Amino acid sequence: MIGIITAILACGALLDEPAQSDAADALFINANVHTFDAGGRRAEALAVRGGRLVGVGRTEEILRLRGDATAVHDLGGRTVLPGLIDAHGHMAGLGSFGLGRLDLSQASSFDDVVAIVAERARAARPGEWILGGRWDHESWPQRALPSHARLSEVSPENPVWLTRVDGHAGIANAAALRLAGVSRETSEPAGGAILRDERGELTGVLVDNAMRLVTAAIDAPQPDTLDVLRQAQEMCLAAGLTGVHDAGVTPADVEAYRELERRGELKLRIYGMIAAPYALFYFREKGLLVGERLTVRACKLYADGAMGSRGAWLLAPYADRPTDDDGRPYAGLATMEPAFIRQVAEDGLRRGYQVCTHAIGDRGNRETLDAYEAALRAMPKTDHRFRIEHAQLLSLADIPRFARLGVIASMQPTHCTSDMRWVEARVGPERARGAYAWASLLRSGARIAAGSDFPVESHNPFLGLYAAATRQTADGRPEGGWNPQECVSREEALRMMTLEAAYAAFEEDRKGALRPGLLADFVVVDRDVLTCPPRDIPATRVLMTVIGGEVVYRAP
């Protein structure tokens, strides 16, 4: 392998001057390095000084930068990739599951969910809340939303609240509904739904803004935020992530990150998006925070819900739920007024922060693009880098607007492979042509930053790479991929996780590639994910994660 790479590197090494006279802090040699620089060059070795790369080239040339105190890591021909950045994750959510919140992602039926809750209830104190999430009724045999009766039977003394995998619906048992004051007479809040059965009785399922009725009543001790973030960080580093765009942080979360940074415990590079309720006042009072480990210069808004719970806002009614319980056309939920999105967008243009809006349905996306366009007409700015988070279902007519308006599509490839089982049932095959339309967006000139939306999906970035390139399940279904015309190449997918994710955070001059002057963030893996058989990508093993030249994770 080294001989092949040496032949490719005919043009020589890239070294900072005066590299020959200044010893590096660390060298990483004998590797298969994908640099992702402008020339797409390959390399064998990297040199690090002061947290940044000072040399990228052949092993024998990079070894000239070795000094008496230089640490030398021989990678034995392993593959090195630029630091992988998850452009949309939820650190607190991931950490909470890591610390013991009930994880229902492996439940293959509602029976499994009930059994898990019953076991927890037997060990719980009377009145203690039982909290969990990540159930997915679409993976159950009947694919029907659950009803709370059996949960209430196994946990009569303990209120239960379990959120769906997408985080846009949840089920409460009778004890939780009582504490929340939710009854069959309770009115639905704007942008929310309280589901009832054919007799008008509560099923216990609440969607989008209606979820707040229960969450506001939860009285349970929460794990320390520092512990939650530490746990999430450990999980991300082991997965090969060097950066995360944390989508929807509170001011308290920011302070927790700052405390970890003060203690020298923040290893990941975090790009924080302030949650919608705090957006307008936060940046007015705090301004922008731009640092090497922690940056807070964005906010996170919501246009709609999710398709899995039928909360995504559509241009036409759902194919599998065309009317609501009162017989009116049903096309999902607007969880935030478009006028408010425009107001925040104008404030972001005025104060210099980025606006990122969750939009999943085709109408949610159109309304967000309209709000952005109106804000930009009122306050023209070329390098705003507004984002739409998810952009899962687009009208074909709206795809060119991303590039024209300079709006970044922040998308999660594994959402496609999780949702493709039922997308056509939700919206029909014609509208599904605009679902997870990565290739169409790229061909239109749009920029895509890729993430996972963990813990909705796994935080393993190699599952996203596989999904983007194949649009298949791990066992290769469907043959050829679902709507395969929207597949992207592996190189395009990795660019979405490196260079494009860096661009989406105004950080392309610091990270996303491996060349002298950039931060020394990279990951060492056990296979070349750009050339191995596609089916081998999900099993990729992370051997080492390096941030700022420091080895922050090493496989046991």
Q: Structure pTM?
A: 0.92
pLDDT at 13 over 80: no
pLDDT on residue 220: 86
Structure-token pair, residue 388 = 């739409």
CA distance 501 to 495: 8
Four-point Cα dihedral 450, 451, 452, 454, nearest 10: -170
pLDDT on residue 368: 98
Choosing among 3.40.50.970, 1.10.10.10, 3.50.50.60, 2.30.40.10, the CATH entry for 1-83+513-556 is 2.30.40.10
CA distance 60 to 241: 29
List every span in the chain annotated with CATH 3.10.310.70.
Answer: 100-215
Mean pLDDT, rounded, of the chain: 94
The model's confidence at residue 21, banded by pLDDT at 50, 70 and 90, is: low
Average pLDDT over residues 279-292: 95
List every span in the chain annotated with CATH 3.20.20.140.
Answer: 297-511
Average pLDDT over residues 236-252: 97
pLDDT on residue 503: 98
Report the CATH number of the 100-215 domain.
Answer: 3.10.310.70
Burial of 212 (0-12, 13-18, 19+ CB in 10 A): middle
Average pLDDT over residues 333-355: 97
Amino acid letter for position 496: M
CATH topology of domain 297-511: TIM Barrel (3.20.20)
- CA angle 322–332–447, rounded 5-degree value: 120
pLDDT at 1 over 90: no
159-168 pLDDT, tens digit each: 999 999 989 9
pLDDT at 3 over 80: no
Average pLDDT over residues 83-102: 96
pLDDT on residue 325: 82
